[in-house]
Amino acid sequence: MKELSGRVAVVTGAASGIGFAMASRFASEGMKVVLSDVEEDSLASAVASLEQDGYAVRGVACDVRFQESVDALREAAVREFGAVHVVCNNAGVARAPGGGYMWEYDLNDWEWILSVNIMGVVHGIRSFVPLLLEQGEEGHIVNTSSGNGGLSPMRGLPIYAASKSSVTQISECLWGQLEAVTERVGVSVLYPGPKALDTGLWTAERNRPEELAWSKPRETQSMDGLKAYMSDAGVDFEVTPVSEIADFVVRGIREKRFWLIPESENNDATIRARADSMLERGAPEYMIQARELVLGGMGEGGK
């Protein structure tokens, strides 16, 4: 899809971070954009900031955990702008690194993260792909994965890693199935980076549903806290601006690229290490490299 102007984009998790950066970039290309998020106050502020710049945008509150909520998002987009051409299944949540072993986590931790990060993508596909096919126009789906899981998992973030690995494989299967029925609808899987991201991901607890709360009090990790933790460990905290990620996504859509993996030596080394381990039928020793020990500390009693 080389021409974006006049087309319609829908972005979930668009009130801040990568989602808002993508929505802003689409709007600057002349697209009409529907921003959705579960955090209504922040969503309203995000929409207002783009409207002030004269862009054609609308905000729709949406909890991607529920199919009916995503269906309502689709209906609102069509009602407002008449069609949808680009869908970014971007909403995601995570627990901060560390805090114990996966067998000690609450079941609520698993249900909350998987329901947003996996089922949110599934719901987006079920809601929007039939519409994209029915329209008979060019369309594109972008699913946000992560280097942690999509490329190589960090042992300190097992639930998040599992969810993002699933997003990668769901996207591969979606690409294969769409290729069998149409050339008009493309698919991309996005790995933001290549450096760390200063987004609201690590403070996602602010939007955690009460029915999926922790069973016992636990400290949450802010971005400032994460930066301090890494600094104390002697690790440089370099950040990729979210605007660069949005630019990367636009290029990927125009070029109809599936793998949206930023070029970097670290990414290439990670991919090779994991592939070599599989080809050699060996142990996943890349799981214990120094960077992983910092970002994925296991908490008290951990190794």
Domain of residue 281, CATH code: 3.40.50.720
**Structural domain boundaries, residue 43:** 8-295
Residues of the chain above pLDDT 90, percent = 64
Predicted local distance difference test score (pLDDT) of residue 27: 98
Say whether pLDDT at 274 is over 60.
yes
- pLDDT mean over 49-64: 98
Predicted local distance difference test score (pLDDT) of residue 156: 77
Question: Mean pLDDT for the chain?
Answer: 87
d(Cα 187, Cα 73) in Å, to the nearest integer? 20
Residue 265's pLDDT band, with cuts at 50, 70 and 90, is confident
Q: Is residue 57 part of a domain?
A: yes
Q: Is residue 2 part of a domain?
A: no
Based on the residue annotation, tell me whether 55 is a catalytic residue of this protein. Answer: no
Say whether pLDDT at 234 is over 70.
no
How many other C-beta atoms are found inside a 10 Å radius of the C-beta of residue 279? 8
Say whether pLDDT at 289 is over 80.
no
Where is average pLDDT lowest: 59-73, 145-159, 205-219?
205-219
Predicted local distance difference test score (pLDDT) of residue 299: 42
Residue 295's pLDDT band, with cuts at 50, 70 and 90, is very low
- Counting the structural domains of the chain, the total is 1
Say whether pLDDT at 297 is over 60.
no
Say whether pLDDT at 296 is over 50.
no
Residue with the two structure tokens 């560390």: 98
Residue 98's pLDDT band, with cuts at 50, 70 and 90, is low
In this structure, what token pair is assigned to residue 129?
A: 């792909």
| Helix, coil or strand: residue 4 | coil
Q: Is residue 3 part of a domain?
A: no
Q: Is residue 301 part of a domain?
A: no
Q: Is residue 159 part of a domain?
A: yes
Predicted local distance difference test score (pLDDT) of residue 208: 84
Q: Which position among 55, 160, 191, 229 bears the catalytic label?
A: 160
- Cβ atoms of 257 and 57 within 8 Å: the answer is no
Predicted local distance difference test score (pLDDT) of residue 154: 77
Residue 209's pLDDT band, with cuts at 50, 70 and 90, is confident
Where is average pLDDT lowest: 24-33, 205-214, 291-300?
291-300
- Encode 104-141: b = buried (16+ Cβ within 10 Å), e = exposed: ebeeebbbbbbbbbbbbbbbbbebbbebbeebeebbbb
Exposed/middle/buried for 290, CB within 10 Å: 0-12, 13-18, 19+?
exposed
Q: Is residue 212 part of a domain?
A: yes
Residue 65's pLDDT band, with cuts at 50, 70 and 90, is very high
Residues of the chain above pLDDT 70, percent = 84
Predicted local distance difference test score (pLDDT) of residue 218: 58
Predicted local distance difference test score (pLDDT) of residue 92: 95
d(Cα 15, Cα 8) in Å, to the nearest integer? 17
Q: Is residue 300 part of a domain?
A: no
| Structure-model confidence comparison of residues 154 and 194, the more confident one | 154
Residue 239's pLDDT band, with cuts at 50, 70 and 90, is confident
Residue 181's pLDDT band, with cuts at 50, 70 and 90, is very high
d(Cα 66, Cα 16) in Å, to the nearest integer? 21
Q: Is residue 287 part of a domain?
A: yes
